[in-house]
Structure 1
């Protein structure tokens, strides 16, 4: 065998070093991917803690779909989105290579749809706040002592409006058609951000449908073989799951027909908790849709409706000696109103933060694609 020349040795040394660098890069990517999956699993598992049930057993618990739980869900989503951007920035070239190059355009389209949903949810929270005001009127009237016919009549008028509002999702937007207008302009996104306080955050088309928007987001949510654990697919799945949950919880325009199948890979560690959350909420949604309702499953709204029905029954059969029979119900309704007063603005603020985070994420991905192409 001929001896290795100095030139050959130098060449082989460079090849060896290059292979080592490539190997280190691959190992780093795998490690970052594993850390990202663990982060997602941990954040969503926290939402399934023992105190998180579908019934409020104690003042400290945060049942699924309660105001505090929804705020935690949005916090978890934004935390995962930050980790996603960090992973993507490490190796931006991956988004331009098969099979991920097919997932990216679909994700960008879902982000656009998610922006419309955020707008609708902020407006939906305003409608919940109106229900809160009606409940407060009824509470104030029924706390009068001695309780008079006039006070009960005021409470009954407020309760009638309240119960009508809480069931408005049976009819709102039922004439809508199509998959909804895509609000892709920077002007609309910017106008959303300029709104402040408790007011709405923009508008969507009259024919826009929250349910059809969700259905469109889930239509092609299927990962190419071997990419169920890719950051792009994971983040797309989480975005759809979170947007679906928001529309289920908050009454939005045309939100009937939300019992959709989310094809999340439950065998993946990152997806296990998200699948469990979806199944729990899905069962509750099915029960409501059997009664003719759609979205609007916020836990406080459901309690408000149950108590409102009891108070309405009392007001219709009011007798001067019966005021003590609803003291507990009035106190519970007052407590729900207090929770809404403290929490609804926080939900709107977090939804706005999600909105701006998604706008930024979409811009960064488009920039990465541009850099890869050049």
Structure 2
């Protein structure tokens, strides 16, 4: 993560730790200051993510692999500060009183759904890696000094498999017969040769339950998400609402970008109150992503990941070349194809460098959420024991 982000987080966490380790109790003004600072940090982080979507070659494009990695970094920072605000040095009985006695269990339910979504997205990245391998076959075929019928047929076969795999998942809608869906390509085995077995790449399959739906998980996470009102808006209910909103937004974004099982209706995103300053950049990002999703639904493709969108476009152009290819090809036509092949090779390079670290980050998010959930459950258990009548 950027050095300034690290410094801000370290300063914030250290400030809370020092003050709450003091013997004196924390006054109301200090509590409000912590809450305001947490909101400011959330706003700053998502403002940074929003500003990076500007049409500028120095920024990583929205929903690119690099942008998603930055999103996950910011999520982990927000999660650490949220936990510090709510738990660090605090009497367990404080989070077992209304309204937190209801809000915390609801938040923990959202985290369970988020864990399922992390698993689904991790499988989705396996699928994207296989699309990358198909593209690499086409690149290796068309990079040769002399392009003949054999090279073009090999490239066309791989590219047709790639495009079919992208389109099939949307048409299938994530539904399949049987009680379980097994991944048709998620392993690096001998049977994983894309050029020799097009059928293996007809759909992006999962080992999730047949009726599992990423879109329904997202909608369930946001169904009872309401902003605190009145006096609750300046208390501990607000950071719970903020972190719930961040969690829903991050999961929604990952599912929009990476192929996941059953995403129909995902374009309907959760509205955040526009009057809340920290929510403004998140709303801006939601609107941009929802706009891209509408375009996707019209043309049909496997996900909004920037690299996949480019791969789809370049792949279609190369298929058009392959279908009209006659040996020997015109020099001008070969030069045009060379540009497409170089572009596809660059996309593959970015995927090769970025997909594995992205997958590792999602696993880190998964384990962080598991640990934090366990910490909250422990504090709730301690609070229950403190409030229990003596035997």
Quickly name the TM-score band, shorter chain normalised.
0.7 to 0.9
- Aligned residue in 2 for 1:115: 115
Q: Could you list the per-position Cα deviations for residues 151-210 of structure 1 after superposition, in whole angstroms to 9, with x for gaps in the alignment?
A: 000000000001012223213454379xxx9xxxxxxxxxxxxxxx9xxxx953222111
Aligned residues: 328
Q: Give the one of 305, 308, 311 matched to 1:304.
A: 311
- Aligned residue in 2 for 1:345: 356
- Aligned residue in 1 for 2:8: none
* Distance (Å, rounded) in 2 between the aligned partners of 1:168 and 1:105: 38
Does structure 1 conserve the Cα–Cα contact (< 8 Å) formed by 2:228 and 2:241? no
- Aligned residue in 2 for 1:234: 242
Asked whether 1:356 is paired with 2:367, we answer: yes
- What SS is found at the alignment partner of 1:47? helix
Larger Rg computed on CA atoms: 1
* Distance (Å, rounded) in 1 between the aligned partners of 2:267 and 2:148: 45
CA gap of 1:93–1:275, structure 2 versus 1, over 3 A, is farther
* Distance (Å, rounded) in 2 between the aligned partners of 1:161 and 1:73: 31
- Aligned residue in 1 for 2:60: 62
Residue segments in structure 2 that go unaligned for 5+ positions in a row = 1-23, 181-187, 189-205, 386-391
Does structure 2 conserve the Cα–Cα contact (< 8 Å) formed by 1:65 and 1:298? yes
Does structure 2 conserve the Cα–Cα contact (< 8 Å) formed by 1:95 and 1:101? yes
* Distance (Å, rounded) in 1 between the aligned partners of 2:106 and 2:284: 25
- Aligned residue in 2 for 1:138: 138
Asked whether 1:317 is paired with 2:324, we answer: yes
- Aligned residue in 2 for 1:3: none
* Distance (Å, rounded) in 2 between the aligned partners of 1:174 and 1:341: 26
* Distance (Å, rounded) in 1 between the aligned partners of 2:284 and 2:169: 26
- What SS is found at the alignment partner of 1:122? helix
* Distance (Å, rounded) in 1 between the aligned partners of 2:207 and 2:31: 41
CA gap of 1:228–1:239, structure 2 versus 1, over 3 A, is farther
More displaced stretch, 75-84 vs 95-104: 95-104
Q: Give the one of 347, 358, 361 matched to 1:336.
A: 347
Asked whether 1:75 is paired with 2:70, we answer: no
* Distance (Å, rounded) in 1 between the aligned partners of 2:300 and 2:166: 12
- Aligned residue in 2 for 1:147: 147
Q: Give the one of 204, 211, 215 matched to 2:219.
A: 215
Does structure 2 conserve the Cα–Cα contact (< 8 Å) formed by 1:135 and 1:158? yes
* Distance (Å, rounded) in 1 between the aligned partners of 2:267 and 2:80: 29
